[in-house]
Amino acid sequence: MRKQDEGMTLNIEEYKVRLKKRPAASGVLIILAATFAMIVENSQWSIHYDAFLNIPVTLRFSDLIIDKPLLFWINDGLMAIFFLLVGLELKREILTGKLSKTTDIILPVVAAVGGIVVPAALFWSFNHDNPSAMEVWAIPTATSIAFSLAILTLLGERVPSALKLFLLSVGIIGDLIILLIIAFIYTTNLSTLSLLMAGSALAILFIMNRMGVKTIAGYILVGFLLWVAVLKSGVHATLAGAAMAIAIPIQTETGELSPLSLMEQDLKHFVGLGILPLFAFANAGISLNGFSLSSVLDPVPLGIAVGLFLGKQLGVFGFVWIIVKSGLAQMPEGLSWQHLYGVALLCGVGFTMSLFISSLAFEHSGWSIISGTADAEIIRLGIFIGSTTSGVLGYLYLHNILPQKNNP
């Protein structure tokens, strides 16, 4: 993280220009990392892949000891940083960005809700008679912001800026709802003392904000204490990232970057080019040994794939169509129904977020959902099928309907 005084040499306009440059490199790296993980897991090197993920990593400070395998630090530690970035982006857009007006935020909120409700309903239709399977109902409700935006970026300047903003808004709001699902569904054995400590750490962050503290290092230190307290509380540790984002100051002197803007600028490449590809590598290793068509067509992976591909389309596009036709919201300026359908397709790219939820679901319910099959692998394959189909068709559809050169 750069020092704040060095970062202040950038003004707000320069920051906005950099923020718009979201390269497709993140999506490409995620694809390569996931592909490499699958190749290694299905080769003679699979034992080394599993050994790598189980490397013990210990954090010790006086009586505080966190002794977990590397996979834990990736899923519960680094992903907390990802949700910190999501929280920063959402706070900026709501307070000073395109979502600062109620009329502007209605449409992406409705789209995000539709993109969660309908996939969940479709998954339920396949698995409502299997209580164990319903533990993973949230998997098809997720959208990978980095991956879907990377696909959109591949289309270059042909993509209207309003379309990118709409997809980003739907993805961020959807992630916020996913965080609430994690907090209420995948939380067990709460520790009152740890929750009080987490609340105290969060209160300190808000006090620092009110006192005008702009030193990013101070917020990081207290934020780490918040993460440890949330981890020990029984609530999933990644929630600490989003909670911390709320307290980061967004106001500053005219012409200077705020701590929120500086932190967001520093984190976006670290997350997109580092954390998410590493997460994909750690969670996408699927062993194809013993797979058959019948196992793939099991109600659980089938419900996930259908939920991501069909459910996201019906939910996002359908809910937007209803709210616009009812007169409660207006279409974003410069966008058509064809544009919004393309976004609905890309919202079906769950990938990293769906893999993340699957890891939580397995921690919460155990590893015996589909009788007689390798549960983790077969469910991840459902994620891959639904996400890949949505991404490929979404790209081809938008490539076909967008003009060869964007005329804003």
* pLDDT at residue 369 greater than cutoff 80: no
Could you tell me where the beta strands, DSSP code E, fall in 3-63?
56-61
Which of 177-191, 284-298, 368-382, 394-408 bottoms out in mean pLDDT, i.e. has the lowest? 368-382
Q: Indicate the helix (H) or strand (E) that contains 230.
A: helix 216-233
Beta carbons within 8 Å of 261's beta carbon, 6+ residues apart: 12, 15, 92, 250
Map residue 331 onto helix, strand or coil.
coil
Sole residue written with tokens 């893999």: 355
Ramachandran angles phi, psi of 65, nearest 5°: -130, 125
Q: What φ, ψ does residue 59 adopt, rounded to 5°?
A: -110, 120
Q: How far apart are CA 35 and CA 28, in angstroms?
A: 11
pLDDT of 407 reads 44
- Summarize pLDDT for 283-333 with one digit per residue, the tens: 888 777 766 677 778 888 899 999 999 999 999 999 999 999 998 888 888
Which CATH number describes the domain made up of 78-176+251-403?
1.20.1530.10
Give me the residues paired with residue 64 across strands.
Answer: 61
DSSP string over 256-324 = S--HHHHHHHHHHHHIIIIIHHHHHHHH-----TT--HHHHTSHHHHHHHHIIIIIHIIIIIHHHHHHH
pLDDT at 370 over 60: no
Q: Helix, strand, coil shares of the chain as percentages rounded to 5? A: 70, 5, 25
Q: What is the pLDDT of residues 246-281, one digit of tens each?
A: 999 987 666 677 889 889 888 988 888 899 899 889
Q: Where are the beta strands (DSSP E) in 44-168?
A: 56-61, 64-69
Q: Are 46 and 287 in contact (CB under 8 A)?
A: yes
Share of the chain above pLDDT 70, in %: 88
The confidence band for 363, taking pLDDT boundaries of 50, 70 and 90, is: low
User: Chain-centre distance of CA 181, in angstroms?
Assistant: 13
57 forms beta bridges with 68
pLDDT at res. 386: 94
Distance from the Cα of residue 216 to its chain's centroid: 24
What local confidence, expressed as pLDDT, does residue 254 receive? Answer: 61
Distance CA 30, CA 135 (A): 27
Residue with tokens 């440890």: 228
| This model's pTM is above 0.75 | yes
Beta carbons within 8 Å of 145's beta carbon, 6+ residues apart: 86, 168, 171, 172, 175, 353
**Does the pLDDT at position 10 exceed 50?**
no
Instruction: Work out whether strand 64-69 and strand 56-61 pair parallel, antiparallel, or are unpaired.
Output: antiparallel
CA 22 to chain centre: 16
- Residues 220-241 have pLDDT tens digits of 999 999 999 988 887 778 888 9
Q: What would the pLDDT profile of 52-94 be if each residue is shown by its tens digit?
A: 989 998 888 877 788 888 988 998 889 899 889 888 888 888 8
Measured in degrees and rounded to the nearest 5, phi and psi for residue 289 equal -65, 120
Q: If pLDDT is split at 50, 70 and 90, which confidence band does 20 have?
A: very low
Please, what's the b/e burial string for 248-264 (b: 16 or more CB within 10 A of its CB; e: otherwise)? bbbebeeebbbbbbbbb
Q: What pLDDT is stored for residue 310 in this prediction? A: 96
Please state the rounded mean pLDDT for residues 375-402.
88
**Checking phi first, is residue 260 left (phi over 0); if not, alpha (psi -120 to 50) or beta?**
alpha
Greatest mean pLDDT range, 60-64, 89-93, 117-121, 155-159 = 117-121
Band the pLDDT of 24: cuts 50, 70, 90: low
Beta partners for 67?
A: 58
Q: Which residue has the tokens 């997350």?
A: 271
The rounded mean pLDDT for the chain is: 83
Residue 347 tokens, joined: 């919202």
Which of 223, 353, 375, 227 lies closest to 279 in space, CA to CA?
Answer: 353
Residue 106 CB neighbours (<10 A): 16
